[in-house]
Amino acid sequence: MSAGGFRKEQVAPLFRGFVMIDFTLTDEQRSMREAARRFAQTELKPVAKELEALSDPWECFRRTRDVYRKAAKLGLTRGFIPVEYGGLGLGTLDYAVAAEELVKVDPGVPSTILANGLALAPLIYFGSPEQKKKWLSAYCAGQDAEDGPYLATYGFTDTDGGANFDSPDPDAGFRTHARLEGDHYVINGAKCFATNGTGWERKGAWLYALFCRTDLKKSARESLSVILVPGDTPGISVGRVENKLGLRLTVQPEVIFDNVRVPRENLIGREGDGILIMNRAYNWRGALLGIGGVGMMQSAFEYCLEFGKHDKRGGTRPVLHHQNYGYMLANMKMRIEAARYLVWRACHWVDTHQADGTELPVLAKVFCSETAVDVCCDALYLLGVNGYVKEHPIERYLRDALGLPVSDAGNMGVRRRQLHGLFLHPQYDPNATVNNALLPFDKLQASEV
């Protein structure tokens, strides 16, 4: 090359013994994917359409219990728990590979499974050794219990809303309050959209990881805390169960806490650690929620592809031969592949950084959930009015996809605000993720934006 460029003798040493960035699945991951696919096709698919059509949201969820038990026997419900507590110690990327196959059939049961993971993430990342041994071991044992499998709940959103959970104004934010009396906290408040919060008998979940204020005179950044609340504690009751447009096979109830007393030792970390704990847990869940969007998109694409091969719409050739149909499929496929590899990258980040660092998990959650809505809309357009009727699954894919951007910390209320706060951080590096450089989360990223 000309002066100032690379010469051959300079470049050659750089590439001796180089290692490619490899997206090839391991034998173990391929085996997991195949096992998940068989389970989805043989156990989940036969009941998903029937249950999804039930008018009563509680009955719809309750009747997933048998399928969930079978998932528990395969180890799917405890795979994210470390081996020393009875889990399988699987990585987040492993879970994403398997979860895509489940979501392609229906997102309900995998959402129930991953809601347990979200609820237990505060314990996994911030719990004391004693807390982990007690609760994680009990959860794993409960997956085979007669009254199980156990369900855990991430009790985050107050009934008044969750977007302003971190407000610097003590008069705003969560009102669920834990008052310390001696060696016990006394908790009052109510949570909504508390996935799994009914338990299987509508008497409450096995365990709640409850986000609450320990001092209503201090801001959330000083007082938001996480307390483990066993579901059989007196004072817990289940209110209404949300009747949702989509995601019908998973349950989101209101849960009320009325003078609920729990030992002080159930506090995870310290008082005021709630925002740090929330961020880490939502990073884990955000990376995986993206795969839900990928699974829905992939199913919509595959259905449209087969439809286009056979349906002529009254013409002389199948519609797949028409340019508009083929080009729209091409656009769908591009977005699916981009979304899948962003999820894989975010899951790899979570696994290698202990779920710290906000950027990639949030990007995966926001991009994949909103892209899923776009792709499922395009699928409906391709089928025309046929896509709008229940004979075809496209309308269900679209209803399910619409729930992703507003769930698990909504994209507008929380997730984009997380990114905005990150960009305002004085140490933010726009090239950090490319260089695998970690900017640990701190409360500066929760600054008012």
Q: What is the pLDDT of residue 162?
A: 84
Q: What is the pLDDT of residue 373?
A: 98
Interior/surface letters 55-84, b for 16+ CB within 10 angstroms, e for the rest: eebbebbbebbebbeebbebbbbbbbbeee
Residue 437 has pLDDT above 70, yes or no: yes
Q: What is the pLDDT of residue 248?
A: 96
- What is d(CA 358, CA 98) in angstroms, rounded to the nearest whole number? 24
The average pLDDT across 209-231 equals 96
* 161 band by pLDDT with thresholds 50, 70 and 90: confident
Radius of gyration from C-alpha coordinates of the chain? 23
| CATH 3.40.920.10 for domain 275-446 | no
Q: What is the pLDDT of residue 164?
A: 87
Residue 231 vs residue 17, higher pLDDT: 231
Q: Which two tokens stand for residue 110?
A: 């995998």
- What is d(CA 161, CA 29) in angstroms, rounded to the nearest whole number? 39
Residue 216 has pLDDT above 70, yes or no: yes
Q: What is the pLDDT of residue 215?
A: 96
Find out whether the peptide bond into 149 is cis, omega within 30 degrees of 0: yes
Instruction: Give the CATH number of domain 152-272.
Output: 2.40.110.10
Q: What is the pLDDT of residue 5?
A: 54
**Burial label, 19 (beta-carbon count in 10 A; 0-12, 13-18, 19+):** exposed
Q: What is the pLDDT of residue 442?
A: 82
Q: What is the pLDDT of residue 7?
A: 57
Q: What is the pLDDT of residue 2?
A: 45
pLDDT single digits (tens) 98-155? 999 999 999 999 999 999 999 999 999 999 999 999 999 999 999 999 889 999 999 9
- Tell me which DSSP letter residue 25 carries: P
Tokens 């919060």 locate to 197
Architecture of domain 27-142 in CATH?
Answer: Orthogonal Bundle (1.10)
- What is d(CA 61, CA 65) in angstroms, rounded to the nearest whole number? 8
Q: What is the pLDDT of residue 14?
A: 53
Give just the sign of the alpha carbon dihedral 334, 336, 340, 346: positive
Give long-range contacts, CB 8 A cutoff, 24+ apart: 162-165: 162/409, 162/413, 162/414, 163/410, 163/413, 163/414, 163/417, 165/211, 165/220, 165/224, 165/275, 165/278, 165/414
* 447 band by pLDDT with thresholds 50, 70 and 90: low
**Is the pTM higher than 0.85?**
yes
The average pLDDT across 167-194 equals 95
Domains 27-142 and 152-272 share a fold: no
Residue 23 has pLDDT above 90, yes or no: no
The average pLDDT across 305-325 equals 94
Residue 10 has pLDDT above 70, yes or no: no
Q: Which two tokens stand for residue 152?
A: 């855990």
Average pLDDT of the chain is 93
Residue 365 has pLDDT above 70, yes or no: yes
Task: Report whether 350 contacts 287 (CB < 8 A).
Answer: yes
Q: What is the pLDDT of residue 1?
A: 42
Catalytic residue (choose from 147, 311, 408, 442): 408
- Tell me which DSSP letter residue 392 carries: S
- What is d(CA 389, CA 377) in angstroms, rounded to the nearest whole number? 14
Least confident window among 10-24, 163-177, 390-404: 10-24
- What is d(CA 324, CA 261) in angstroms, rounded to the nearest whole number? 62
Task: Report whether 398 contacts 419 (CB < 8 A).
Answer: no
Give just the sign of the alpha carbon dihedral 413, 361, 430, 276: positive
The average pLDDT across 192-221 equals 96
pLDDT single digits (tens) 56-69? 999 999 999 999 99
Percent of the chain with pLDDT over 90: 88
- What is d(CA 70, CA 66) in angstroms, rounded to the nearest whole number? 6
Residues 6+ apart with CB under 8 A from 96: 287, 288, 290, 291, 343, 344, 347
**Burial label, 438 (beta-carbon count in 10 A; 0-12, 13-18, 19+):** middle
What number of CA atoms fall less than 13 Å from residue 274's CA on the CB side? 32
Nearest alpha-carbon partner for 61 in 102, 103, 99, 109: 109
Q: What is the pLDDT of residue 240?
A: 97
* 166 band by pLDDT with thresholds 50, 70 and 90: confident
Percent of the chain with pLDDT over 70: 94
What number of CA atoms fall less than 13 Å from residue 93's CA on the CB side? 20
Q: Which two tokens stand for residue 402?
A: 């619409």
Give the orientation angle of helix 108-126 with respect to helix 65-73, to 10 degrees.
Answer: 50
State which amino acid sits at residue 146. Answer: E
- What is d(CA 260, CA 449) in angstroms, rounded to the nearest whole number? 35
Kindly list the domain boundaries of the chain, sorted by start residue. Answer: 27-142, 152-272, 275-446
* 449 band by pLDDT with thresholds 50, 70 and 90: low
User: How many of the other CB atoms lie within 10 Å of CB of 51?
Assistant: 20
Active site residue 158: no
Give whole-number Cα distances, 372 to 306, 337, 405, in Å.
19, 12, 9
Q: What is the pLDDT of residue 21?
A: 75
Residue 44 has pLDDT above 60, yes or no: yes
The average pLDDT across 421-437 equals 93
The average pLDDT across 403-416 equals 94
